[in-house]
Chain A
């Protein structure tokens, strides 16, 4: 009786887990033509659990519309199950003052198992020089 209950519980747990499991397989050019301008980044992890779940692969930037900075951060889900996060970009000017703007808002993102996704933002002010990406776990 006890082993039957244990088996049922294990089966239910497995079913529940597999229900959330959708890993992503990818294929891309072996020698990429893209030559992104990578940014040396500084990472501050205050939520170790989240840090173990979501990794930052790279940060690159470019200039759009002549004088506006655009940054792109590539994130990776380090686990096999779907992961919901929220992220927000913030910009500061040369004096370290916040620039604000419509792009400074929390946005949701769902990453499938082991998926790599890029999130990006464009500074709406030419005064914006530095950025911070904040990431928190989703609901």
Chain B
């Protein structure tokens, strides 16, 4: 092989290698990525955004497929969010799960969530509650609050295991939908998400 051809081949190979590497390399400069998308960071010590998304998606699909929402006497059914117990090692805002579920159920037209009734009297929208009370008082009427037909409760669990350098964490998301009038759980679901590795990574 003559030397210009050899040089051309070497340069081409180098360029191809660089191009292919640059397509997959870890970004150094900050940039926008799709929230919860395939480029998001995966860690072993916390529930990542994609974990919340996956859990919420599975819960919504299960609830909508179960048929229980068709059995309510008046649609949309009113839902109140009850206690979501966090038994993981980290401090999380359980709205990361429940809000996604609420949004999806609201979109479906099957369920609406009350924001003026909360666990232990702590309401999500105190202004709406006070305004309703004020309006009722000015009208000389007793305030009528639409009571929830369902309540949503649940628990977050964490299980850790290690074999040598390989760490494994399983997050378990449990939810129950209870009918207020009889206190029976008409729908229950559990979704487990397991992550394994030696260190955090970008993309999955």
Contacts and interface: CB of A to CB of B under 8 A. Distances in A.
A68 B64 contact: yes
Given A64-B65, A86-B38, A124-B64, A102 B108 contact: no
B67 A124 contact: no
A105 interface: yes
B103 A102 contact: yes
Contact of A64 (B37, B67, B101, B104): B67
A102 B64 contact: no
Contact of A101 (B38, B65, B69, B107): B107
A42 interface: no
A102 B56 contact: yes
A122 B203 contact: no
Contacts of A106: 34, 36-38, 50
B60 A126 contact: no
A108 B103 CA distance: 23
B53 interface: yes
Interface string A119-131: 0111011100000
A21 to B, nearest CB: 20
Given A68-B108, A70-B65, A105 B60 contact: no
Nearest to A108: B204
A125 B53 CA distance: 17
Interface in A53-70: 64-66, 68, 70
B175 to A, nearest CB: 14
B70 A66 contact: yes
Interface of A: 64-66, 68, 70, 86, 101-103, 105-108, 120-122, 124-126, 136, 138-139
A126 B64 CA distance: 12
A102 B60 CA distance: 8
Given A64-B67, A68-B64, A105-B50, 17 more contacts: A64-B64, A65-B70, A66-B70, A68-B108, A86-B38, A102-B60, A102-B100, A105-B54, A106-B37, A106-B38, A107-B54, A107-B57, A108-B204, A122-B60, A124-B107, A136-B38, A139-B38
A128 B193 CA distance: 28
Given A70-B65, A108-B204, A124 B108 contact: yes
21 contacts: A64-B64, A66-B70, A68-B64, A70-B65, A102-B101, A102-B103, A102-B104, A103-B57, A103-B104, A105-B50, A106-B38, A107-B57, A121-B57, A122-B60, A122-B61, A124-B64, A124-B107, A124-B108, A125-B107, A125-B109, A139-B203
A132 B99 CA distance: 25
A65 B110 contact: yes
B169 to A, nearest CB: 16
Interface in B108-150: 108-110
Contacts of A136: 38
B36 to A, nearest CB: 5
Given A102-B103, A139-B204, A125 B108 contact: yes
B123 to A, nearest CB: 25
Contacts of B50: 105-106
